[in-house]
Structure 1
């Protein structure tokens, strides 16, 4: 069955491996991309009708050389290597999206959202981002309690207070190419105090696990799509799905760096991906924070969930 997405002019899914862990302190998440590929993700997508290419254009030697000498700027950890890796990812995502392919970024930690959000928005102006995560990742350099940049990517992509610091100021789009009114969260259940204020002040649409419990995942996805499409019946705004595996409950996906109890069930997570594919408006997907080194006895299950979520986002269904 050939892919059926209105903004994708080819049947190509470009897998962009992003083996980077500098946005957070735990080792192992850099092995997530290879684990997903080794589990057969390329072949699984080919079985859905996709032509799969793997992008190896990012110069990781250069990034790692910067990382070895990276020191904090104020509270921010590894800012130079995160900036460089994000800039390179933005270019790779933009290239594939402009070529009519569907970029699928495999992380790595969620600091990659800086690059993937910007790359998608450059190729698809006006694209919405649906961020599925236990965390909102919208701390600014001035609010982050930890200094870990995997908790800040949305703030940098939106150009919020402090984002245009060195070394990010040399390449972040100014004005930003992303907008708070085209951002929706699903699955939040662990939000920092400073982030709550940002979400409220910017009037960003949030569907926490409370809303999933109250309305059910089908209604939540419908409301998310209504919001990004200006509360019309149209479903035509391009969608970038950024999916952190810690959005899933730890009983489903335990091998991740910041698990939080009370997350999405297996079916809820897959429904989100399936429903967004069914709109025909998906233009990019991220799958991040799979860490095979954490809870190693459960790593295989977490990797399998990561693969199945990507398959669902790229068209797998019961009758596919």
Structure 2
């Protein structure tokens, strides 16, 4: 049962106060220039345009020690035939295995990890690598799409629409052995996941969301409840029982296409700038963000240079806000709560 009212706010304020004392003061930025989880070329250039929009300088201005580890180098197999209509399974699986190891090493070294995609199939590697260090993590998935198709339900076969299905323990019996993914073992329970911003959900995905009892908020829910209430319920759902590391997986198409036009699968009626930034501010205020993805920026699909720059600049704002860039009044309130120093590693037991 979700906590409500003043006790909920007090709990989150306390988590924010203690967590901000304990989370890493260094940020690792890792690029994953990969596009084979979907069919539109250009998303592999996402890490470059996000960096070019001033990401490293912005994060440095927030008093973090910023370590840019550059981009991973992915190999594309010449022979990578579809499997059950799943496209490029070996390439996608291998890329995610490489990414998983890199993310695990960065988080294990004490950094807060920022993964720049690339398409959203990369979340398999990013979240699984994080979970190797923090097996009890909670996942917040901000996206127009649920990305929980299985190979049997996917209308397209594109793996950027299936990453969550590889993670969930409850779907283990519904996932065939996809070539390239033998290394992946389900590690996440459905109760440890919350979606925000959904508005284009396939029929098979809808049934999975309902059958598994996954907490999700569509854009209609956001219209009805308001983004403040959505975030209260989200954080109560993930944190009411205990402190835990948070993984934020943010697809730029969660925003309305008027704000983020340079992306592969835009859907009208998305998040406003204020709603998107409020989500990331509230996640930062918990003090528990340990790793995040920013994916699906595709400069090739921007109709103009201004469209590409606007999308990349928005990506920088999302990342910076997740890591503490604030608007006036966005600071967590912890008046009267004593400081309680905790080790970072305690969140990842």
- TM superposition score normalised by structure 1: 0.92
Please, which moves more after superposition, 299-308 or 162-171? 162-171
Q: 1:50 aligns with which of 59, 64, 78?
A: 64
User: Cα deviation per residue 1:13-36 (whole Å; 9 max; x = unaligned)?
Assistant: 111101001011001111010101
Partner of 1:171: 183
Residue 57 of structure 1 contacts residue 92 of structure 1 at CA under 8 Å; is this kept in 2? Answer: no
Work out whether residues 6 and 281 of structure 1, in 8 Å CA contact, stay in contact via their aligned partners in 2: no
Corresponding residue to 2:130 among 120, 127, 139: 120
Shift of 1:178: 1.4
From the superposition, tell whether residues 240 and 7 of structure 1 become closer, same or farther in structure 2 (CA, over 3 Å).
farther
| CA contact 1:5–1:282 (8 Å) conserved in 2 | no
Q: Which residue of 2 aligns with 1:299?
A: 308
1:310 counterpart (301, 305, 319)? 319
Once residues 244 and 206 of structure 2 are traced to their aligned partners in structure 1, the CA distance between those partners, rounded to angstroms, is 27
Quick one: distance in 1 between partners of 2:248 and 2:102? 17
**Once the 2 structures are TM-superposed, how far is the Cα of residue 100 of structure 1 from its aligned partner?**
1.1
CA contact (8 A) 2:39 2:158 kept: yes
Provide the alpha-carbon RMSD of the alignment: 1.6
The correspondence of residues 224-303 of structure 1 with structure 2, limited to 5 A, is: 224-230=234-240, 236-297=243-304, 298-303=307-312
* 1:293 match: secondary structure: helix
Larger-gyration structure (1/2): 2
Scaled by the length of structure 2, the TM-score of the pair is 0.84
Q: Which residue of 1 aligns with 2:101?
A: 91
Matched, 1:143 2:153: yes
For residues 59 and 187 of structure 1, what CA distance do their matches in structure 2 show? 31
Aligned residue pair count: 307
Tell me whether 163-172 or 196-205 shows the greater mean CA deviation.
163-172
Q: Tell me, what secondary structure is at the counterpart of 2:39? A: coil
Match of 1:8 in 2: 23
Find the counterpart in structure 2 of residue 38 from structure 1: 52
Contact kept in structure 1, 2:32 and 2:71, CA below 8 Å? no
Secondary structure (helix, strand or coil) at the match of 1:254 reads coil
1:187 aligns with 197
- 2: CA distance, partners of 1:111 / 1:51: 29
Equivalent residue for 2:210, pick from 182, 200, 214: 200
Confirm or deny: 8 A CA contact 1:126 1:238 kept in the other structure: yes
- Gapped runs of 5+ residues in structure 2? 1-18, 332-349
